[in-house]
Structure 1
Amino acid sequence: MSIKVGDRAVVLGGSITGLFAASALSKAYREVVLVDRDTLIDVTEWRRGAPQTRHINGLLARGQLALEEMFPGITQEMVDDGIPLSDMAGTVRWYFNGEPLKQVRAGLTSIAATRPIMEFYVRRRVQAMPNVTFMENTDIVGLVTTADHSRVTGARVQAQAKGSKEQILEADLVIDAAGRGSRTPLWLEQMGYLRVQEDGMKVGLGYVSRHYVLKPGTDPFGTDHSINPVASATLPRGAIFTKTDSGKVELTAYGILGDHPPTDPEGFNEFVKTLAAPEIYETIIQAEPLDDPALFRFPTTMWRRYDLLPYLPERFLIMGDAVCTPNPVYAQAQTLASLEALALHRHLARGVAPKPKDFQQDVADIIKPAWEMTSSVNLSFPGVQGKRTLKVRAGNAFMRLLQKAATQDPRFTAAFMRVAGLIDPPETLMRPALIISVLRQLWRKPALPSVPQRTVARPRSKAAAR
């Protein structure tokens, strides 16, 4: 992109969404400034300002393609440095409804880096862009606008160093990539805009993560990279147990509707023991833990419908978790952010600043299929409140059949994971040919013995006893 759209763009928030946004902006603005309250440069450990940084984060297959499009060669760079590259259908051992799915290499690759390491590699690429600067350890105070609030002209920020004063960063474009804690809804109301509608669903999710080094002879993975028992209506507990960078393994165990893993080591292990993949418990009780269990609570999903507002201030865009935080169990957030960054690039390629209404509509179009798919899955749990339309009930009923068929034939695993990985839209799973194939598969082969329903009473931990 040789034509410059403007002089300066400011990105509020330096996490993965902000970094993705900066990669697009750097081609269109003479200067790009990322503002964040944390230290960012050369950081490879957990950050205070990223509350989910200790837990498993990752790009789905579509997000990995977007990452490579934004930063060519970064995937191989990470693999060369020893970070595992997995295939969602071929090297992930999935358990659905207590049964393992058949595996097949389907080209659905994703990099298995912890969040700090993923950010480090992406940030290093962004740092190398000569017109991008990082304003670290700086608080975001508010926006600067024209007198009639019709256009954003900059941001008010303040360094955390003692004695620092508030300053104004003038900008031709400001992007809010500050995450779920974004104050844009409040700022817009203070400027006289309508209150933004928030859609969401109470899921009562809680997940606890811990990192380990495996002892020789105890590796449960074989040729796999990850072991993932998925929560179901009969056992609303699940986990992601994966190899990751630096020779570590990472375990995030979760439960919904308040059934959260305990954070004391003994209680955490007992929770893991109830999961559908017994090899996880058998492995961690022999492994060397590197940290204490860490809990993150996620009460509700959230989608701020900026696309529905009749007016928005010019030269101001919102991206990533500041717009939508879907159920983190499905690992969609980073991938949605990457797709939004590609949309931003397309808007900027026109040679003019994006129109907020048009851009937020594109963001909504990216979010909608993933949101509807996971909202339907959330409603498969009887305790989750929400409207179970005929479409939702029929879709969930067929998903159970598809997952059963995938325990017998890897073709169905690949089809399901292409949708879960955001490669294919959800409606591809409802094609008549696929439905017929699933029914034929289940009719041809006798059903596998059903897994007895497990008791899911919360183990009594030391923390609970206190």
Structure 2
Amino acid sequence: MKSAVIIGASMGGLLAARALSGVFQQVTVVERDRLPEEARARRGVPQSRQAHALLARGSMALDELFPGFTAQMIRAGVPKGDLQADCQWYLDGHPMRQAVSALPVYGVTRPLLEHLARERVRALPNVTITDSGDVTGLLHDGGRVRGVRTGSGTIEAELVVDAGGRASRLPIWLDELGYGEVPVSTVRTDVVYTTRHYRYEPGRIGFAVVNAPYPGLPRTGVTIRQEGDRVVLFLGGILGEEPPTDDAGVMAFAESLPGPEIRDFLRTAEPLDDPVRMRYPSSVRRHYERMPRLPEGLVAVGDAMCSFSPIYGQGITVAALQALALARTGGTGRWFTAAARLVDAPWTMATATDLRFPQVQGARRVLDRPLNAYLERYRAAAAHDPDLGAAFLRVSNMLAGPGHLLAPGRLLRVLLSPGRAGREPVRRRPPVAGRRG
């Protein structure tokens, strides 16, 4: 019987299970955590209590994997908006010009997103989800992985998928089996972020407000409407900036952001829970494609392969695109090479943004300086030109490659835009209280 076993039942594992259900006769998902029957945060996904963003390409991929998934989200109460018309973006402190873009944005919490996906996977007749079970190692023989060892026995399979997230033990297992160490790329930004929910009142704040960090202001503040008539507030800092959790500190942090929307909202907003803090020291990419040899019958997906900074919201979308690739290939062939190509663009975009900060260590290319100079002008010009804003959002939402921003027509409009000599970005002096000593 042709079978596959997946380590982990978070989003990466669930999406891989859906993809492989059309390729294998039996798919078994083994999860260490005890899975809830409803939509709620769980211990095995500590970031599930934090704010999440679903990129436009990610929502489209979910509809490909689970037909009607976004409609199901809406029926569950998830609000939908236009990514440019209904959201206020601040890029390098410049407010992006709002206009209809036809790019969807969904205000969905991670627990609900995972719950809906889990229920769709549970309904598949050839998929079994086993919780409270820990995978302790690989079954390996003759250069091939033939299943996994668990605390209660073994599970044999023709394909093993590691969807164990950031805590993946696959590099340790491969080293123990004699395959050597997995090369790793790390970009350390020391992200610290907090999430809190407030009651939504129509007219008090738009669908979403996004203040992106930039050199000179290593802070971010985001609000997004969510299901349950809530607004989630995400405050983040990098390179020593830590958002406070007390009301006065939160207000002071919001006042330091370029846009006034979050500050004005918080003056009368009713909190629904306490702030939750999380630390994310580094973005980490494991380069399995660079290994001199690997056993057959092995695949890694999602954060087990590459964990992105939470500021950019790329993780679920990349996992969904990897799942679509699994559905096409069944994990055969040069999987890690193909999967690395899916990671290349979002990794490059995220780390290039991080490397704009002089304090962030990492390899910088010769072309980075002129490219960053152009993109600074681009962000300023997007305050006046809605087409430039729409193009930027298509790239950041993984619907187009970075070259989309360098198209001749856009290049000319950036150079001719009043943004090239336009007003300075909105800058507010950060209060000292948010700085780590």
**Shorter-chain TM band:** over 0.9
Match of 2:184 in 1: 198
Aligned partner of 2:149: which letter? R
State the alpha-carbon separation in 2 of the partners of residues 112 and 363 from structure 1: 28
Q: Does 1:415 align with 2:391?
A: yes
Q: Does 1:354 align with 2:332?
A: yes
Q: Does 1:104 align with 2:90?
A: no
- The one of 314, 326, 339 equivalent to 2:308 is 326
Q: Secondary structure at the match of 1:289?
A: coil
Aligned partner of 1:82: which letter? G
Match of 2:126 in 1: 131
State the alpha-carbon separation in 2 of the partners of residues 247 and 199 from structure 1: 40
Match of 2:244 in 1: 262
Q: Secondary structure at the match of 1:82?
A: coil
Q: C-alpha displacement at 1:421, in angstroms?
A: 0.6
Q: Secondary structure at the match of 2:320?
A: helix
Q: Does 1:454 align with 2:424?
A: no
Q: C-alpha displacement at 1:39, in angstroms?
A: 2.4
Aligned partner of 1:96: which letter? L
Match of 1:366 in 2: 342
- The one of 71, 83, 86 equivalent to 1:91 is 86
- Counting aligned pairs with the same residue, the percent is 37
Q: Secondary structure at the match of 1:450?
A: coil
Aligned partner of 2:423: which letter? P
Q: Secondary structure at the match of 2:343?
A: helix
Q: C-alpha displacement at 1:315, in angstroms?
A: 0.8
Q: Identify if the C-alpha distance between structure 1 residues 458 and 208 changes in structure 2 by more than 3 Å, giving closer, same or farther.
A: farther
Q: Does 1:220 align with 2:205?
A: yes
Q: Deviations over 1:438-466 (max 9, x none)?
A: 11223xx78443246432243269xx89x
**Between 393-402 and 379-388, the greater mean CA deviation after superposition:** 379-388
TM-score by length of 1: 0.90
Aligned partner of 2:260: which letter? P
Gaps of 5+ in 1: 1-5, 159-165
Match of 1:185 in 2: 171
Q: Secondary structure at the match of 2:25?
A: strand
Aligned partner of 1:219: which letter? R
Aligned partner of 2:322: which letter? E
TM-score by length of 2: 0.95
Q: Deviations over 1:295-329 (max 9, x none)?
A: 11111111000011121111110000000012221
Match of 2:364 in 1: 388
Gaps of 5+ in 2: none
Figure out how many residues of one structure are paired with residues of the other and give that number: 437
Q: Secondary structure at the match of 1:180?
A: helix
State the alpha-carbon separation in 1 of the partners of residues 204 and 428 from structure 2: 26
CA-based RMSD of the aligned residues comes to 1.9
Contact 1:218/1:283 (<8 A) preserved:
no
Q: Deviations over 1:396-448 (max 9, x none)?
A: 11111111111001010001111001000111212233211211223xx7844
- Listed as ranges, the matches of 1:421-432 within 5 Å are 421-432=397-408
Match of 2:284 in 1: 302
Q: Secondary structure at the match of 2:400?
A: coil
Contact 1:79/1:85 (<8 A) preserved:
yes
State the alpha-carbon separation in 2 of the partners of residues 131 and 104 from structure 1: 45
Q: Secondary structure at the match of 1:288?
A: coil
Q: C-alpha displacement at 1:284, in angstroms?
A: 2.3
State the alpha-carbon separation in 2 of the partners of residues 182 and 194 from structure 1: 16
Q: Does 1:113 align with 2:108?
A: yes
Match of 1:161 in 2: none
State the alpha-carbon separation in 2 of the partners of residues 56 and 460 from structure 1: 20
Q: Does 1:345 align with 2:327?
A: yes
State the alpha-carbon separation in 1 of the partners of residues 265 and 128 from structure 2: 44
Q: Does 1:250 align with 2:232?
A: yes
State the alpha-carbon separation in 1 of the partners of residues 321 and 28 from structure 2: 21
State the alpha-carbon separation in 2 of the partners of residues 129 and 361 from structure 1: 29
Contact 1:218/1:286 (<8 A) preserved:
no
State the alpha-carbon separation in 2 of the partners of residues 140 and 43 from structure 1: 24
Q: Does 1:397 align with 2:373?
A: yes
Match of 2:136 in 1: 141
